Structure 1
Amino acid sequence: MDFDLGEAATALRGELRGLIAEQIPADFLGAFTDDPADLDVAQRFCRTLAQRHLLCMSWPGEFGGGDSSVWEQTVVREEMWAHHEPRGAQYMGVNWVGPIIMRHGTPEQQRTHLPPIATGEVIWCQGFSEPEAGSDLASLRTSARREGDGWRINGQKIWTSYATVAQWCFLLARTSKGEKKQHGLTIFLVPMSDPAITVRPIRTMMGPHHLNEVFFDELKVTTADVLGTVDKGWSIVQDVMSFERVGIARYARCEKLLQAAPAVLGDAWDDLPAELRGRWARMLTHCRRARLMAYRVVSLQNTGRVKPGDTAAYRIAVTKLDQDSAEVLMEIVAALPRGECEYFRQEVEDHWRYAQASTVSSGSIEMQRILLSRAMLAEART
């Protein structure tokens, strides 16, 4: 299978890799470690990308983008994730918050929010999941009640990545009760600096900033904070999912680590069990499968015809790849003598930790299978 995206994409990969080698420390394992300097590195790197018009390449120029193709933006996604996401949390704003505001925001919201994302100056978090509404998101209890020309929001969100460092929250709340639980939901764009918002970190093996509880206690919002139409937020949520689930090129890091393994082990590679090397080869083919499925969704997004089943199928494949490749890589590095190739060992261990949550985050794999099954049944009936 030929995945060559052309000469321009090859040159872009070279430029991105050169910038990473020049500006990112050789032992970098992501922005959200116990060392605050790693987040600073990521924020500086984002500004560098923005200055070179590489951060939001496929955005229209009027919104601070580079007017490039979605395929060039795909190259950026792949190179960033393969190198431990040196943009930090900016991928959220770049991949889906910005595009969703372009589609559904007012001109004032676009003027307020898009330039700071395009220049790499702002971090967003997503206020979706709740203690009683994770995979079944439409069951959320956070409420917004009418008060004068606005609303008062009360409730709790959980598993909110980057809430401790984010300046803005893309918040989903219930504004009314409808015949179906998906009705009566509204999106609000709210500043995390508001004193009515409290953030409590949840410590995990993935490091700081990844998981948090967020509490809203009589948070005052206005009509200007509403994204889209009141009570019609579920259609925006579906749009978010189509962008979000393909936004992280997980297959790129899997393939980079798998490809590096034989060279890292050297002569010890031939001493590995044949069964393990066979699983390693299988994981490489699964990387190619996930890449092809991602490219299909990107192509559909470009024409505006993405369906839930399309993103669900890709999400199932790539999250299973994440976990299965992590297990194979952990067995491979177990053959390394202690003290040798420590950075590669740390890369693999970091990949394994992240992979444990991959089939839960952004919609559990069980929910993705349900979505895919429904889509296949609907197609069979037509």
Structure 2
Amino acid sequence: MGPKADQLRTELRELVKEHVPEHFLGAFTDDPADLETAQNFCRILAERDLLCLAWPKEFGGGGASVWEQTVVREEMWAHHEPRGAQYMGVNWVGPIIMRHGTPEQQRKHLPPIARGEVIWCQGFSEPEAGSDLASLRTTARRDGDGWLVSGQKIWTSYATMAQWCFLLARTSRGERKQQGLTIFLVPMDDPAIQVRPIRAMLGPHHLNEVFFDDLRVTEADVLGKVGEGWSIVQDVLAFERVGIARYARCERLLAAAPTVLGDRWDDLPAELRTRWMRMLTHCRRARLMAYRVISLQAGGQVQPGDAAAYRIAVTKLDQDSAEVLMDIAAEVSHDDPGAKWFLGEVEDHWRYSQASTVSSGSIEMQRILLSRSMLAGAK
């Protein structure tokens, strides 16, 4: 990406080294200090105009290119996302509000995101509407000059700590299930909202159930037009699926393996070293696919099939590289203090990878989207 990107990478790595503990494995652990580390790091990035680097300056960003923001994504994900849940606000909540929000919504929501002060969660999936999101049952029924929202969401990341929810609900029924859906921007401290954590192998705070019991919303809470939320959802998913640079963490851990093993590296079975090399190749492939989609997105030309192809490649990379790294880690001496960070990060990467082909739209749905796109292009 050129010398400017190299300088940015160096700056980000120095900030991580200075402000993030060596054995940091993300913000969502049993230790409250990890969340505070992430929140503090966000404030540091924001003070340097690095948190929302590519946002327009009028919205509190740095006015940089999407490629500089890509460098930030890669370095953050490679180092266990020390921004915590802020990537959601930075990568897609903010850009979607810029594109579809009213001036008042932009003034209200964008500056706090740019300052790293607010955490968002996404109210999309439901017990019977995951990959088939348009089948959701959460409803918003008219009540005077507003609506009352009732229903349940599930697998909602960060809901226990979020201040705002990007909520999708049904306001009417049309001929197609994608019709009559509306986006609401709602505060999570409303007493009509109840959050129940779901314990999982990913650790605490990642996943939750969220219940809405006659939550009152108004016209001011509607993002875009009433009943036309599905088009916004498509924008959300395109930003979300490309916004996480999963390949960067895979590549960092794979590249570190020979150094961690030292002289023992040459004693590994040839088959394992071949798998290791194949995973490095797949990292480069996923990176190039991400760059292609980012380029298309910047030009307003990205299609669902483009994001789906990248998503398939990078989530498979997550799982396949995790298996290779676990096999390599089995050869590392647990008595070696210099290898402790590697063993901890590899295990964390393996745990996270187990859900990667389900989150943000299952890999089966991505294959359907890609197939439809290829068939449409062949006509």
TM bin, normalised by shorter chain, reads: over 0.9
* Aligned counterpart, 2:357: 359
Q: How many angstroms apart in 2 are the aligned matches of 1:378 and 1:83?
A: 39
1:255-280 deviations in whole A, cap 9, x for unaligned?
Answer: 00000000000111111110000000
1:63-103 deviations in whole A, cap 9, x for unaligned?
Answer: 00000000000000000000000000000000000000000
* Aligned counterpart, 1:110: 106
1:326-371 deviations in whole A, cap 9, x for unaligned?
Answer: 0000000001122221211010000000000000000000000000
* Aligned counterpart, 2:333: 337
CA drift at 1:281? 0.1
SS of the counterpart of 2:130? coil
SS of the counterpart of 1:357? coil
Kindly provide the amino acid, as one letter, of the partner of residue 181 in structure 1.
K
Kindly provide the amino acid, as one letter, of the partner of residue 342 in structure 1.
K
SS of the counterpart of 2:84? coil
* Aligned counterpart, 2:147: 151
- TM-score, length-scaled by structure 1: 0.98
Matched, 1:96 2:117: no
Q: How many angstroms apart in 2 are the aligned matches of 1:27 and 1:347?
A: 8
In the TM superposition, 1:279-290 aligns within 5 A as: 279-290=275-286
* Aligned counterpart, 2:219: 223
In the TM superposition, 1:285-296 aligns within 5 A as: 285-296=281-292
* Aligned counterpart, 2:159: 163
Q: How many angstroms apart in 2 are the aligned matches of 1:22 and 1:346?
A: 20
Q: How many angstroms apart in 1 are the aligned matches of 2:14 and 2:289?
A: 28
* Aligned counterpart, 1:189: 185
* Aligned counterpart, 2:61: 65
Q: How many angstroms apart in 2 are the aligned matches of 1:335 and 1:112?
A: 52
In the TM superposition, 1:17-96 aligns within 5 A as: 17-96=13-92
* Aligned counterpart, 2:268: 272
CA drift at 1:312? 0.1
* Aligned counterpart, 2:373: 375
SS of the counterpart of 1:108? helix
Q: How many angstroms apart in 1 are the aligned matches of 2:189 and 2:213?
A: 13
For structure 1, the 5+ residue unaligned runs are none
**Higher alpha-carbon deviation: 339-348 or 274-283:** 339-348
In the TM superposition, 1:287-326 aligns within 5 A as: 287-326=283-322
SS of the counterpart of 2:285? helix
CA drift at 1:379? 0.3
Q: How many angstroms apart in 1 are the aligned matches of 2:4 and 2:204?
A: 37
1:277-299 deviations in whole A, cap 9, x for unaligned?
Answer: 00000000000000000001110
* Aligned counterpart, 2:257: 261
SS of the counterpart of 1:145? strand
CA drift at 1:205? 1.1
SS of the counterpart of 2:213? strand
Kindly provide the amino acid, as one letter, of the partner of residue 207 in structure 1.
G
Matched, 1:250 2:246: yes
Q: How many angstroms apart in 2 are the aligned matches of 1:372 and 1:263?
A: 38
Q: How many angstroms apart in 1 are the aligned matches of 2:96 and 2:276?
A: 38
Matched, 1:201 2:200: no
Q: How many angstroms apart in 1 are the aligned matches of 2:335 and 2:227?
A: 58
SS of the counterpart of 1:218? strand
Kindly provide the amino acid, as one letter, of the partner of residue 375 in structure 1.
S
Q: How many angstroms apart in 2 are the aligned matches of 1:131 and 1:46?
A: 33
**Higher alpha-carbon deviation: 97-106 or 200-209:** 200-209
Moved >6 Å (runs of 4+): none
* Aligned counterpart, 2:171: 175
SS of the counterpart of 1:144? strand
For structure 2, the 5+ residue unaligned runs are none
SS of the counterpart of 2:131? coil
- TM-score, length-scaled by structure 2: 0.99
- Count of residues in Structure 1 that have an aligned counterpart in Structure 2: 377
* Aligned counterpart, 2:345: 347
CA drift at 1:170? 0.1
CA drift at 1:171? 0.1
